[in-house]
Chain A
C-alpha cells in the first residue's frame, strides 16, 4: 500500500506513538549522530548521516542478562523487552537488521533477540545519496532496502514523504498513527528514477556475486598481510558493525553471594584471545588471520549462508579504524578492481 504524508503529520504521529511505545531514532549529540530513545518527535535528526553504532543494540544490547540465579539453584531465563518503534532506519541498517534476524533465527532461535525483534515496528527512511566518503553501500547494493521494514518512507520535495506500508503490522500502525492520503505509484517511480540517476556513477563491486569463491581462492593474497600488519587488534570494527554478532558469556555473583547473573556481552573476533582455549592454544593467533576471518565472514562464509553480502557498506568500521583498514580496499584487491600490484 502506498500513502503520502508530510513531515508535520509524521512528527504529530510520532508524538502520539510515544504515549504507547518507546521510540528510537537518529538523534544529534554534539557533532555526532546516534541512535537513541527520543522523548518528543523534535529530538529526531532527519538528515542522512551515519550513526556511530548501528541499531543492532536495540535487539542485541552490548550487555544483557541471560539468566538470574540464586545460590540455592533457582534459575530463571531472563529477557528484557519492551514494544519499540525504530524510526528513520536507513537502507544499509535495514539490511543489517535483516541479516541479524536470519542469524539469530538460524537453527536454534535465540529467545532474547527474537522476542525484542518481535515487539519492534521498523520504519525505514530511504537515502537518495551517499552519506559520506567512507560509506560504500552502493558497492554491495545496500543503498536499496528490499525488506526488513514494516513501513518505508521516501523523501520527496517540500517535506513530503511517500509511505510504503509493507506488512500487516505496518498497516495497523499506519492506520492508528498516521494521517496520510493515497500515494501515486507514479511518484514513487519518479523518486526511484531520480535516485538511480544520483547513484549512476557509483558502481557495485566487480563480480560481487562471485565473492565467496573469489575470497576462498585468495586466502593467501598479499593484501591480507599488508592490511593485517597494520591492524591493532582493538576490535572497534566489530563493535560498530551492523552485522557482527559474536558474544562472550560471563557469570557474576552479587557481593552477598546469594544470587548471581549469567550475562552476555559483545565480543570481537578481532581480539587476540577470541579463539584461545583453556590450555593456551590460540587457533587464530595473528592479526592477519583474524582480519582474514572477519572479512571472509562478510564476503564469503556468511555471504554463502545469507545469499547476499553480509557487509552492508555502511562505512562504520572504516570511520572507527585507527589504522585506516577498509573492507572496500580489501575487496577491490581480491576482485582485481583496483588494478594494484600488491606483491
Chain B
C-alpha cells in the first residue's frame, strides 16, 4: 500500500484572508497581483508551487506563485482572465481582499536544487508559462555563480504577449559578460522586432549545451511540451535532467476531488513540477 494515513485537518478547506498590495496590467487579459497575507507571515513556498485563490461567492482557482520564496511576506500571482475566478479577480484593485489556501503541490524542492547546483540551467518558457518559471528564474539569477550557466529561452506569439518586459530587459542587460543569457522568439513579430522569429523550438539549436551537464526546465501551453521534448531528445538530453510544470483542472488542491488525476498521478500532489523520467509513460499527461 502507498497510503500515508493522517488525522483530520480542520483547516483543509478554510482559506485565509490576504490583501492585494499591487496590481499591474500586462495586457488586456494578463495581470500581475502582489499579495500579502493579513497575518503578515511568509507563505513558505517552493518555486513552482501554487495556491488556491478564493473569491467569496465566485469560487476557487489554482494559480502558480510567480515570485521566489525569499520575497519577504509578499508573493506574486499572475493570471490570465479566462475563468470565473480570474475574470472577477481582474476587477479587483489595490487593497481589495482575496482568500488563499496553500501553498500546494510539489515544486522545485531542495532535492532538485541540489541536482541543479553547478549545472547549466536551460529554461524553456512559452507565453504565460513565464509566470510559474519566474519563481525559479528570479531565485537563481542573483545566485548565478552557483550554476555553470543559465540560459532562458522565451517564446511568445507577439511582442505584446511578452510578460514582465522590464525584467526581460534587465536580464538582457545582465547577460553581457555574465553566465546568464536570454533568447527570445516571436511567432508573429511586428516590423520593429529584431530578434528570432518562429516557435520556441527554433531557439534550441542556438544554445550550446552539454546534455549530461544541463538541467532543462519547461513551462508552456499544453501543446508545447511534445515539441520541446522531441527537440531535447534529439540532442540526447537524459530524461531525468528534464523538469516541467504541468497544470490541470484542480478543485481541492489536496489530492481528493479527482479532477487533476492523469492516469494514477494526482497533478496537485506529485506535480505540478515533474521529472520527465518519472512520467514519460503517462499518456494522459502528454
Contacts and interface: CB of A to CB of B under 8 A. Distances in A.
A301 interface: yes
Interface in B50-92: 54-61, 80, 82-84, 86
B9 interface: yes
Contact of B248 (A69, A252, A283): A283
Interface in B1-18: 1-15, 17
A118 B7 CA distance: 11
B196 interface: no
Given A75-B14, A248-B251, A249-B257, A109 B57 contact: no
B99 A274 contact: no
Given A69-B56, A301-B264, A276 B249 contact: yes
A71 B57 CA distance: 9
A210 B186 CA distance: 50
A66 interface: yes
A55 B8 CA distance: 21
Contacts of A105: 3, 5-8
A73 B9 contact: no
B1 A305 contact: yes
Given A75-B15, A77-B10, A109-B12, A306 B1 contact: yes
Main secondary structure of the interface of B (DSSP, over half): loop
A77 B258 contact: no
Contacts of A73: 17, 56, 97
A315 B50 CA distance: 39
Contacts of A330: none
B166 interface: no
A284 interface: yes
Contacts of A47: none
A262 B260 CA distance: 20
Contacts of B5: 102, 105-106
Chain B interface extent, by class:
35 or more
A274 B247 CA distance: 15
Contact of A284 (B8, B11, B247, B284): B284
Contacts, number: 150
B57 A77 contact: no
A69 B15 CA distance: 11
B14 A110 contact: no
B6 A260 contact: no
B12 A246 contact: no
Contact of A275 (B3, B6, B249, B252): B249
Main secondary structure of the interface of A (DSSP, over half): mixed
Contact of A110 (B8, B55, B83, B260): B8
B10 A111 contact: yes
Contacts of A20: none
Contacts of A262: 13, 54, 59-60
A30 interface: no
A205 interface: no
Contacts of B2: 304-305
A38 interface: no
Contact of A250 (B55, B59, B255): B59
Given A73-B97, A278-B82, A246 B258 contact: yes
Contact of A277 (B1, B84, B248): B248
A309 interface: no
B183 interface: no
B256 interface: yes
B259 interface: yes
Interface in B237-255: 247-249, 251-252, 254-255
A100 to B, nearest CB: 11
A277 B258 contact: no
B57 A251 contact: yes
A219 B283 contact: yes
Contacts of B11: 77, 111
Contacts of B84: 278
In the A-B complex, the 3 residue pairs with the smallest Cβ-Cβ separation, listed nearest first, are A278-B83, A246-B258, A301-B264
5 contacts: A103-B256, A107-B254, A264-B257, A289-B284, A307-B1
Interface of A: 66-67, 69, 71, 73, 75, 77, 102-112, 114-115, 118, 219, 245-253, 257, 260, 262, 264, 267, 269, 274-279, 281, 283-284, 289, 293, 296-297, 300-302, 304-307
Given A110-B9, A274-B259, 10 more contacts: A73-B17, A106-B3, A106-B6, A110-B8, A246-B257, A275-B248, A275-B249, A296-B264, A301-B263, A304-B2
